[in-house]
Every structure is written in C-alpha cells, then in structure tokens.
Structure 1
Amino acid sequence: MTGPTNPGALLRTLLLLFSLHIPFIAASELKFPPNVNHIFNAIHSSMRQWGSSLHHNGMSFFIATVPKGTQLYHGNNFSEPVNGIEWLAFEPEHAMVFARSRHGPPPPAGKGPQKRSQFPLQLQDKESGQDQNQTGWLHTYTTAKELRLLYIDGMSAAKTENGTLDSQDRILLRDALKGKFGMLERERADMICHMAQEKYKGRLDGVLRMEAGFEIILCDFARDLNEVRVTRVKSEDKAGHPPPGRDTEGNIDGAKLWYKAIAARYNGIGGNRVILEYGKFVTAYAYGLDLFRPSRSNGNSLPRLNHLVADELRPIRNDLDYLILNYDTSRTSYNWQGVADMVVQRYAHELRYLASGRLTLQKLHEEIENSLGPFIDYGDRNTGLEAEECSMQFVPAGAPTDGLARNAIRSVSRSICSTMIEAWKQTDHGAAVAQLRSLMDYLSWTTWKDCNGCADNEICVIPIWPMGTVEDYEHPQCREASRPSGQGRRYWGEHGGPSGSQ
C-alpha cells in the first residue's frame, strides 16, 4: 500500500502492521491476524487464471508493466488498422472469439472501430440479419514500448452482480456508473482512458483485467503497438460450430481451443509478459473495513464493497491516486509472489495430509517434528524462536525489509509454523486436527481445489465467467476440453451474459 494520505489512513496502516506480528497465544485460543491471509492470497493468485477465478472478487490494485515486444491480439470484423481505445488479449484464441461478423458492422470511413455488441459469444446473426458465413479478422501486434498499466485483480473483466466489478466501479471509477444499466464496457474504457490522460497525467497506458483470459484495455493502439499481421479467421460453419439459434452457453464458439488456452494460464501468464510491482500496492484488505457478508445467493462468502459508503472508500481511492501518480519507474520490482509460491508449495500437501484425520496422534507428532526439525535446537528448546526461524525460511536476506507483501508473507508463514508447533504439543488428537483444519480454513489456498490427474484431453473446470456452475466452484473436476460445461445451477446466475470486452 502506498503511503497514507491522512491521519485516519495512517492509524489503519499502523494497526494493520501491528496485527501482522500478533503472536499465537494458548493452543485453546489460537488467533489468526485478520485479512493478512487475503493479502497473501492476492499476491499468490495475481496474474493467475486459477486463483483469480476462485477468488474472483478482487480487492487489490497493482502497477503492472508489459515489456516492449510482447505479442498481443485483437479480434474484430474488419481488416483496417485499429486506432484509439480498444481491447487486447494475451492469447489468440481469446481474441478470435471476437473475430465474428455478429460483433458489429465495419467502421464508417475515418471513424475507427465502432462499439461492439455486448454479447459477442451468442449467436445473434438471425436477429442482426448478418451473414453467418462472413468472418472477421485476427490482428496480431507487438508492443512498441513498455506498457504501464493498472492491474485490477480478481476476475475484474467479468460483468456480473457477484462482486467482480466492485473494486473497479467503486474505487477506481468513484461510483460514476451508479444507476446505469447494461454491461457498460465502452463507458468503463472511455472513463479509464480519460482518467489515465487527465487525472493521472499520462502515467498509465491502460488497465489489465481478467475474465476468460487476461486482457488489456489500451488507450492508444496507434501509439503503443506495432501491427505484425492481419489474418482472416475460419468460417464458423466450416469449423463445425453450432447452427444459428442454438443455446451455446455450454458449447461456445471455439470452446475447445479457447478453454484449453485459458487452462494453460491457470498457474500464470508466463514468459515474463507481465511484471507486477509488489513493493507498493493498494488493497481494500488493509483498511479495517467490513468486507465479508455471507449474503451471496450461491453461498460463498467473498469480499464485497457494494454495502460501503463513499466516505469509507475515500482513503483507498486517495491511496490509489497516490500510487499511480508517484510510482517510481526506475525502481526494481521484487518478486514477492515467488516467495509466496515457496510457502504454498512447501506446506499445501503437508497441511492437507496432517489435517486429514487419518494419522494417529503419535504419527501426527512425528510428521510435524520432521517438518520443524531444521528449526529446533534440541539442546535449548524455544518454541517462539522456532516459529520465528520457521517463518523466515523462504525470505531471502537481500529481500526488502518492509512493505505489505513481506509482512503478509511472514505473518502467514508464522501462522503455519506456530499452529504446527501447537498441534505438536497437543495431547488430544481431535484438538490437534481441529487446529490444523482451522488453519487451512484461514489460509483458503486455491491449490486445495485443484483436480488430480486430468487426462491430456481434459481440463480442470472451475467457473470462469460466463461459464460454470455452483458445483464447479465447490468441487472442480476434470472434463473434456471441448465440453467443459457441467450440469446444475449456473454460478453467475441464469442471466449472466458473456463478455463485451476482449
């Protein structure tokens, strides 16, 4: 989080930083620092399709850079150069979904691209009177310079009422769209780019978001991109897609290719195509707000901002402005996500095994001692020191010594180490297992929902807007990539339409 801009923000920051170091107390009264787990997960899931889909209501903003020469894609129904504000995809399969004639008419001469249909994945040719055999174009670009973007985490490109738009609309856009109806994607893009130029003095080139794939709203195509090629996409009927009029929510055009491309980015965008600044970022989790209210219709208790008044959000808005306007472009970003990864990779399987209830108390103690052994001086036992040494295992000596990311990672690591020590000291098997399960609930790592052993032609399916069911969220499972849709109540609601952005 950036430096606070008022005394209230300063107090909240000090209270949060103090809470990051709360030690564990008696085993019967184990306490975990509030919201630190969510800050850790925001770091761990950033720019990852898997974690960002499960923790889809993002509450955090990061400065992101896309290196010069990065290849990006845009799909539309005309071959002329694209200028001004438009959408870019990181995967060609994502952009190709938009290279269909039903996405809108060609642009008038000299006018540039027109606003596309808000429902590009639905077969609307019958209603529009357009020829289904007419296909569009895939534009391939490389970035002409390093792009500086604002990354809005979670599934912030998903047009839902589930909370995916909360941070974008309430914090970044200051409730400017309140009372308006529709998906409002062109309105968001225009407002964001106006803010980037006027309010933020050209310090942003656009925003980075995620839906079924990662996308950029770029404010100046002509300035920031070099066009590599423009190619015509394959005709839909020749590609074997469904005939007009069929309900295609479960069999979206190009679903096999598109969903495979999405799943390939479950664990990260890859290739250093995006670099996030973890040293300073803004997150709603750091302001002592009441973000969690279990009122969602599908039963999940995910964070929301919709019930908060503007005065409660003002400190976050101010700190976001400060972050963008004062970001030092010469600073080197430290990869705190890599450190968070080591923590998850080390303990995810172990904690699930320890909390399974399958081990006897003696075996449980043996397994915990094996994990903690490197941090124990058997000649001079000190459990507080053991927990501290254990919590610092993955933090390099040369890492930054302050910041929200470091403190969150250290606090979560200490929660893990301290809970294992307390479970080791327990003489009651049920109490020891309960402590470990409480820790897992607190950590809420998305890796615990991963499928095991999907075949090469299958993917692990979770709800990714506009697709998915409540069952997919609760119990992800392997399905054939060409038929990813499951049965049951739709996760995004019966009327959750598909995206109007790239």
Structure 2
Amino acid sequence: MIFSSCLAVAALALWKTASGSLVSNNVTLINEHYANHIFNAIHSSMRQWGSSWNHNGMSFFLATVPKDTLLYHGSHDPGPVTGINWLAFEPEHGLFFASPWFDKRRKDGAQQTAQIPLYGDTDSNPLQPGWLHTYAAAEDLRLLYIDGLSAAKTGMGTLDTQDRILFNDSITQPHQDLERAELACKLFRDDWDNRIDGIIRMESGFEIILCDFARNLRTVRVTRASPYDARDGPLLPGGTRNDLFRLYKVIASRFDGIGGGRVRLNYDHFVTAYNYDVDLFLDGGKLPRLAHLPAEALEPMKQDLRNLVMTHDPFEKSVDWQAIADMIVERYARDLKYFVSGKLSSTRELHFEIERVLRPFINFDARDSIREIERCATQFLPDSLPYDTVAAGAVTAVSSTICTVLVRSLQEDDYETIITSLERLIDYLSWTVWKDCPEKCDWNEVCFIPIWPAGTVEDHEHPHCKDKPSSGGKSYWDRPPGRPESQDDMLLYRYDEL
C-alpha cells in the first residue's frame, strides 16, 4: 500500500509535468496518498455493492432527487405523514416498516423488544399489517448524501462522519437515529438557511431522512400491506425470513446503482475526509475511522462542509466523474487480474499482453515512456474539463498510476518483479469489482455479502451465491454489549430506535 501510494504521488507529478497546460497545477487534491480511496468513493457512490464493501464512508456529496420521483414509506397509520420521517427508494424497503412486527412493537412498547414472540399471534392481541404510503417528490429535492453504509447502526465506523462532523460529537450511541434526524433538520433550518431538505443514507437499501413531508411530497396512494400468516414461519423485523430475503434480492438489483436517474450527485464539489492531512487508518487498520482524531483535526472538514452547502447548489451541473471512473475500472480490471493469474508464465508473455494494452498510446517511430503514460492516463478524460477539482485529481492520480506501472513493466526484464509490481497495484486500487462471487449466480440467486444488519463473517470472507437467507453463523457486524453474536439475533435489534 505504501509503495503504490508513493508511486501514485510520483506518477501524478510526472504526469502534470508532461501534460503542460492540459492540467492545472492547482489541482485541489491535498492528500495524494489517499487518491485511490477518493477514486473508490466516487466509483461506489449511490451503489449498494461498493458502498457495502467500503462501509465506512468518509464523504459528503450534494445530491438531487428529481421532481416526480416515487418514494415509499411504511407505517401503521394510514393518515398523512408530516414533519420529519424516513423514505425508501424501493417499495419493498418501505413495506419492511409496515410489517406486523412493528404493530406488535407499537402495542407492547418499544422497550419490550427482547420479549416479542417470534411465532404467530394471539386472538387477544392479533398482529395487524400496516400501510405502504407512495409519494412523489413535489419538487426537486436538495439533499446531502453521506456515503458508505451510513444508516448502519454500528460502532465499526459507519456513523463516524455523521456523529463527529455533522453532529459535533453530540450523539453517543449507534441507535440514536431519531436524535440524528432531529439534529440534522435543525442544522439545515437554523444554520444552513434551509438549503438542504434532508439526507440520503444507505443500509439494506437507500433511504432519505426528509425534514418536511408536507412541503416536499405529494401523496400518490396509500395501500394496505399483506397480513402475517404463521404458516410462513417466524415473524422477524420486516416480515418472515423469506420476506427479508426478497428484500435482499431487491437490494441486490441496485448493486450497480440506484438507477433511473433518481439521484444526481455533484462530483465537482464535495467534501471527503480523505483529502485532509490526517491519518484515517490508525495503526495500519483496514477500515478508515474518525473516532481517534481530536476535535480540532475535524474543524477544517466541518467548515468545508458548511461552505460546500452555502456556496454550491445541489442543482448545479457537474462533470460525471463516476462515469469516467467506470470506464477506467471496466478497461483495466480484467486485464490486471489476468496478468497476475499465473496463466502468463514468462516475461515474454507478460510483455506481449501488456504491450497490447498500451499499443494505442505508443508512437513506435519515437518511443517516449513519459508521453506514453500521458496518453494512456488521459484516454477517458474529455477535453475542456475542469481539472482543478478533488475528483479530477483523484481520477488522474489513479489512471496515471495504472499507466505508469504498465509502462515500467515493459521496461523490466525480471518476471517476479513485474508480478510483484502488478500485485501491489491491484492492492492499491482495491476495486470492489474484484470481490464478486466466484461463480455466476443462477436466476433465483444473489451474490450474498454482509449488508447491515444481515451477513456473517463467512459471507464477508467468502461471498457465494444463495437462494435463501443465511442461518446462523457469527455476524459480521459488531453487537451491542450483552447481545448475542449470531446474525439471527442481530436482525431482532435492527430498529430499536423506532
């Protein structure tokens, strides 16, 4: 990681020198050692797959949900919803909260969670289904997107950016989501001049915390959810085990993006903790954290976030840097893995395949490695783009690093040295497309990975296709003190705050 990070800095400096006026020397990429993480944040934004793997999000983006976009809210009250509340992008996610399980909680009181029976109901206290409210955005919604699994109530770092930067350490427990919603909307109203309508976060599906339902939505319909049938098995939060797996399949359909143009992000102007001179990976940890940083180290991020909101509008047009990142990943992901697969057993074979990748960027009448790197690194960058942004700096640093390693590999004669360099590059890039299930899933299966609160350590270490939910196994997610470790038990505590 250190080798490749240093190489990224050197590659970007070399590339700027070679490019002359093509790229501004005022690229606002402060911490070039984290360029790969910024690139991956852009690539994974509003995508369930990458955001689940990189679940400790470190970035804030301005977001827009277009007028007339359909959104969903599950409730045990068919009446109009006003004020602050939650919305889902998928109807199945909304139906989760219309489950009879939540009716039982409403009757018995939220503090009786552990005593809720898992099977059936009784004649004296039947479990009733709720209603699915379907809304349409009454206007373009101005939102703040917090990346990663930012709605996952864990102590693993999924809430760091919210609790430390947005809420100034005033939230102390993972399950204080009602307090988060109220504090966010108070901040937007009192300090940010109502320039933001709510927050987009992700858990088992994307959600919106909207500050004013009455102002921002119009009702399309309200429909009754299906009743619970004890023959379908245990009643869990959100329905039966089969209901929950159906929700997971819906979530999996958004692995590669929310779809339909339902969310637009501003990639030219965003705030990411990766772009500050702080150590996010304490003691070489695998997951980025803010928890160990003193409050004063976070002040620049807080100020920059406020400046982002006050000086830029979510409706602004921006370069789609995610689309550019996609082209880079799609271009090199398979080739890089092929190079280190062992199927190329000699330097000659490696050189032949690498040169085929680089051939469009080589002038065979006048070989020049610096120019070859430049041509390779800029192949997906249209002319006249604003290159003085964080996104531009991160994308050019990553593309330059890839091309530098490939060009240098052609100049290296030792097979093991080439392979080691390529393996370090792959480790540095850490693209989530390489974490896919090893087998192709059948039509009724999904590639199952941990998405809070579901998933086991085994699912994280060895993702596989599944046609039914996991049962048992140690949960991947941390557990509140005194609570069991199995993922089945984690499901019962998913929504303690509601």
- Range class of TM-score, shorter chain: 0.7 to 0.9
Indicate conservation of the 8 Å contact 2:12/2:397, yes or no. Answer: yes
Per the normalisation by structure 2, the TM-score is 0.86
- Equivalent residue letter for 1:478: C
Q: 1:316 aligns with which of 301, 304, 309?
A: 301
Residue by residue over 1:345-399, the C-alpha shift from the partner in whole angstroms, topping out at 9 and shown as x without a partner, is 0000110111223212211110000000000011111101101110000011142
- Equivalent residue letter for 1:185: D
Of the structure 1 ranges 182-191 and 490-499, higher mean CA displacement relative to structure 2 is found in 490-499
Indicate conservation of the 8 Å contact 1:468/1:486, yes or no. Answer: no
Q: Which is helix-richer, 1 or 2?
A: 2
- Equivalent residue letter for 1:21: L
- The answer for the alignment partner of 2:149 in structure 1 is 155
Please tell me whether residue 462 in structure 1 is matched to residue 449 in structure 2. Answer: yes
Indicate conservation of the 8 Å contact 1:53/1:464, yes or no. Answer: yes
Indicate conservation of the 8 Å contact 1:251/1:485, yes or no. Answer: no
Does the C-alpha gap of structure 1 residues 127 and 171 become closer, same or farther in structure 2, counting only changes over 3 Å?
farther
Of the structure 1 ranges 200-209 and 417-426, higher mean CA displacement relative to structure 2 is found in 417-426
Does the C-alpha gap of structure 1 residues 118 and 88 become closer, same or farther in structure 2, counting only changes over 3 Å?
farther
- The answer for the alignment partner of 1:97 in structure 2 is 96
Superposition deviation, residue 488 in structure 1: 3.3
Residue by residue over 1:471-501, the C-alpha shift from the partner in whole angstroms, topping out at 9 and shown as x without a partner, is 2122211111xx2326532100354531468
Q: In the TM superposition, what are the counterparts of 1:385-424 in structure 2 within 5 Å?
A: 385-424=371-410
- The answer for the alignment partner of 1:203 in structure 2 is 195
1:207 aligned counterpart, secondary structure: strand
**Structure 1 CA distance, aligned partners of 2:68 and 2:193?**
24
Indicate conservation of the 8 Å contact 2:35/2:398, yes or no. Answer: yes
- Equivalent residue letter for 2:137: T
Percent of aligned positions with the same letter in both sequences?
48
Q: 1:175 aligns with which of 156, 169, 176?
A: 169
- The answer for the alignment partner of 1:354 in structure 2 is 339
Indicate conservation of the 8 Å contact 1:70/1:143, yes or no. Answer: yes
Does the C-alpha gap of structure 1 residues 433 and 106 become closer, same or farther in structure 2, counting only changes over 3 Å?
closer
- The answer for the alignment partner of 2:24 in structure 1 is none
**Structure 2 CA distance, aligned partners of 1:486 and 1:370?**
47
Does the C-alpha gap of structure 1 residues 105 and 421 become closer, same or farther in structure 2, counting only changes over 3 Å?
same
**Structure 2 CA distance, aligned partners of 1:170 and 1:65?**
24
2:297 aligned counterpart, secondary structure: helix
- The answer for the alignment partner of 1:269 in structure 2 is 258
1:277 aligned counterpart, secondary structure: strand
- The answer for the alignment partner of 1:443 in structure 2 is 429
Superposition deviation, residue 400 in structure 1: 2.1
**Structure 1 CA distance, aligned partners of 2:99 and 2:112?**
11
Indicate conservation of the 8 Å contact 2:52/2:451, yes or no. Answer: yes
Please tell me whether residue 340 in structure 1 is matched to residue 325 in structure 2. Answer: yes
**Structure 2 CA distance, aligned partners of 1:450 and 1:132?**
43
- Equivalent residue letter for 2:444: N
Indicate conservation of the 8 Å contact 2:56/2:158, yes or no. Answer: yes
Q: What are structure 2's unaligned runs of at least 5 residues?
A: 1-7, 16-30, 484-489
Please tell me whether residue 22 in structure 1 is matched to residue 21 in structure 2. Answer: no
Indicate conservation of the 8 Å contact 2:237/2:494, yes or no. Answer: no
Per the normalisation by structure 1, the TM-score is 0.86
Indicate conservation of the 8 Å contact 1:250/1:467, yes or no. Answer: no
Residue by residue over 1:64-121, the C-alpha shift from the partner in whole angstroms, topping out at 9 and shown as x without a partner, is 00000000000011101111000000001111110024425899xxxxxx9x959999
Indicate conservation of the 8 Å contact 1:469/1:486, yes or no. Answer: no
Q: In the TM superposition, what are the counterparts of 1:37-48 in structure 2 within 5 Å?
A: 37-48=36-47
Q: In the TM superposition, what are the counterparts of 1:55-70 in structure 2 within 5 Å?
A: 55-70=54-69
- The answer for the alignment partner of 1:189 in structure 2 is 181
- Equivalent residue letter for 2:88: A
Indicate conservation of the 8 Å contact 2:120/2:234, yes or no. Answer: no
Please tell me whether residue 282 in structure 1 is matched to residue 274 in structure 2. Answer: no
Q: 2:316 aligns with which of 331, 334, 343?
A: 331
Runs of 4+ in 1 over 6 A off after TM superposition: 17-20, 118-122, 125-130, 247-251
Superposition deviation, residue 143 in structure 1: 0.4
- The answer for the alignment partner of 2:226 in structure 1 is 234
**Structure 2 CA distance, aligned partners of 1:250 and 1:92?**
14
**Structure 2 CA distance, aligned partners of 1:122 and 1:59?**
37
Does the C-alpha gap of structure 1 residues 309 and 195 become closer, same or farther in structure 2, counting only changes over 3 Å?
same
Please tell me whether residue 293 in structure 1 is matched to residue 282 in structure 2. Answer: yes
Indicate conservation of the 8 Å contact 2:175/2:497, yes or no. Answer: no
Q: 1:427 aligns with which of 396, 403, 413?
A: 413
Indicate conservation of the 8 Å contact 1:20/1:408, yes or no. Answer: no
Indicate conservation of the 8 Å contact 1:208/1:215, yes or no. Answer: yes
